[in-house]
């Protein structure tokens, strides 16, 4: 294990901790802006490692660095027929006892003068902003990291410049073997193409990107095509007898198709892109993250199978803090150029932050999205009451959802533990 690997793990881990801290800072900032009293701001869970009181809030770090929280007073409202900030005795069923116990714990910190400083008393839109501010901070961080990579460092893209010329035509199914005497020379060899040649035009079409060139090559099988290249300071006109080959499909990697074949490999270079590429990247990331959340149960079955058998871990499946930090170590220890390492590192941090933000917006308690849904429902009920001139329905009692909340919390904790175990015994690796 190299020292770079360890450094990468530590740096990425603390990058994730900083992201968690900023997530909670988003909640804290707007809670204080709207006058909610916040007794605690903590990064981590479990026993306190370090803390300091500033004003009415205790800021600290706990020993288990797997999340964070802020504690706002009055997260759960009293029942409608209870005096403000007080609870009457209850001796109903098991779930009701659980709900009232949690309600009492939520209200025990509410003291004289705190009536307007409890979370449940705030306007519905203020509650939405407070709870949305945390995930929004992660989404902003993702946008910043991805923007730095796309517009600052540049995106690694294939160029219409020849990097290598294949000597012979080998079907995709036999890729990797050496040429034999019976294998025909590639069209690139026959035409005299060389590494370093920049293709300016192909079959009369001006070439501005490798993607365009690749599409034209695949569509020109069986024809002799005019190709203009720049070699050194010269411009050369060549005729290339394009053949056909069984190649991997561009739309479905599991399939092959018979297409035009030239026998060249493009060079790879970083190019800075504009804001449009950032928006496109964020859009693609949103689609992929949403799909991952929808398929999370199925993906977790795959994690379970990989953790307790010799099955290969899905590289596109979920990973935990341990697994993500380990990938950070692999990035740091790789032989890639420093700029490529930095770009990969920042893109990973951006992707993880975006996933954290989107996951927290799932409309189920105890996630932020569950509180947002409750606040929105309160706004709808009050809006309808105003329109129909009915009495104000009051606060939405999210405490009634506590049995489901505890069940969801148990699922999240179990998923987190499984991911940590899988990341230790069968981690996702960059090189497969």
Report H helices in 108-186.
Answer: 124-147
257 labelled catalytic: no
Please identify which of the residues 24, 100, 330, 378 carries the catalytic annotation.
Answer: 24
Report H helices in 186-337.
Answer: 187-191, 210-218, 275-294, 296-307, 321-333
- CB contact at 8 A, 74 and 34: no
Quickly list DSSP for 367-382. Answer: SHHHHHHHHHHHHHHH
Name the residue among 263, 428, 271 with its Cα closest to residue 343.
271
* Token pair belonging to 174: 């036999």
265: left (phi over 0), alpha (psi -120 to 50) or beta: beta
The SS3 assignment for 403 reads helix
Which contiguous run of DSSP H or E holds residue 226? strand 224-231
* CA–CA gap between residue 182 and residue 168 (Å, rounded): 9
Chain position carrying tokens 């490692």: 49
Which contiguous run of DSSP H or E holds residue 29? helix 3-33
Report H helices in 151-240.
Answer: 187-191, 210-218
Which 8-state DSSP code applies to residue 149? Answer: I
In three-state form (DSSP H/G/I as H, E/B as E, the rest C), the secondary structure along 66-103 is EEEEEECCCCCCCCCCCCCCCCCCCCCCHHHHHHHHHH
Which 8-state DSSP code applies to residue 119? Answer: G
CA distances from 270 to 235, 340, 351, 414 (A): 25, 9, 20, 41
* CA–CA gap between residue 247 and residue 265 (Å, rounded): 14
Instruction: Just list the catalytic residues.
Output: 24
């Amino acid at each position: 294990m190299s020292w770079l690997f360890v450094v990468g793990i530590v740096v990425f881990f603390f990058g994730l901790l900083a992201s968690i801290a900023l997530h909670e800072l988003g909640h804290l900032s707007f809670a204080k802006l709207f006058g909610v009293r916040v007794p605690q701001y903590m990064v981590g869970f479990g026993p306190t490692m370090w803390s300091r009181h500033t004003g009415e809030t205790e800021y600290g770090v706990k020993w288990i660095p797997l999340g964070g929280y802020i504690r706002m007073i009055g997260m759960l409202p009293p029942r409608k027929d209870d005096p403000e900030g007080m609870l009457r005795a209850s001796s109903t069923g098991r779930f009701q006892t659980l709900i009232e116990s949690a309600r009492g714990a939520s209200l025990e910190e509410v003291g004289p003068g705190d009536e307007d400083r409890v979370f449940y008393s705030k306007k519905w839109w203020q509650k939405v902003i407070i709870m949305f501010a945390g995930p929004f901070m992660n989404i902003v961080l993702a946008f910043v990291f991805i923007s730095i990579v796309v517009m600052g460092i540049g995106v690694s893209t294939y160029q219409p410049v020849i990097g290598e010329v294949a000597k012979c035509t080998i079907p995709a199914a036999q890729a990797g073997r050496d040429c034999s005497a019976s294998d025909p020379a590639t069209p690139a060899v026959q035409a005299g193409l060389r590494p370093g040649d920049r293709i300016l035009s192909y079959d009369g079409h001006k070439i501005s990107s490798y993607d365009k060139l690749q599409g034209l090559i695949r569509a020109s099988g069986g024809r002799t095509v005019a190709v203009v290249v720049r070699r050194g300071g010269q411009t050369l006109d060549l005729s290339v007898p394009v053949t056909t080959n069984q190649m991997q499909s561009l739309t479905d990697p599991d399939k092959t198709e018979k297409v035009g074949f030239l026998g060249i490999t493009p060079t790879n270079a970083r190019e800075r892109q504009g804001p449009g590429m950032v928006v496109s990247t964020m859009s693609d990331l949103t689609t992929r993250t949403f799909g991952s959340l929808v398929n999370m149960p199925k993906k977790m079955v795959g994690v379970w199978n990989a953790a307790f058998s010799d099955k290969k871990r899905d590289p596109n499946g979920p990973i935990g803090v341990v697994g993500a930090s380990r990938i950070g170590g692999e990035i740091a220890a790789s032989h890639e150029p420093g700029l490529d390492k930095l770009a990969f590192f920042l893109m990973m941090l951006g992707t993880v932050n975006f996933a954290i933000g989107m996951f927290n917006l799932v409309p189920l308690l105890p996630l932020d999205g569950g509180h947002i849904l409750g606040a929105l429902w309160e706004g709808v009920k009050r809006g309808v009451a105003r329109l129909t001139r009915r009495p104000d329905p009051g606060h939405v009692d999210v405490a009634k959802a506590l049995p489901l909340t505890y069940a969801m919390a148990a699922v999240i904790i179990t998923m987190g533990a499984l991911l940590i175990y899988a990341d230790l015994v069968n981690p996702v690796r960059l090189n497969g």
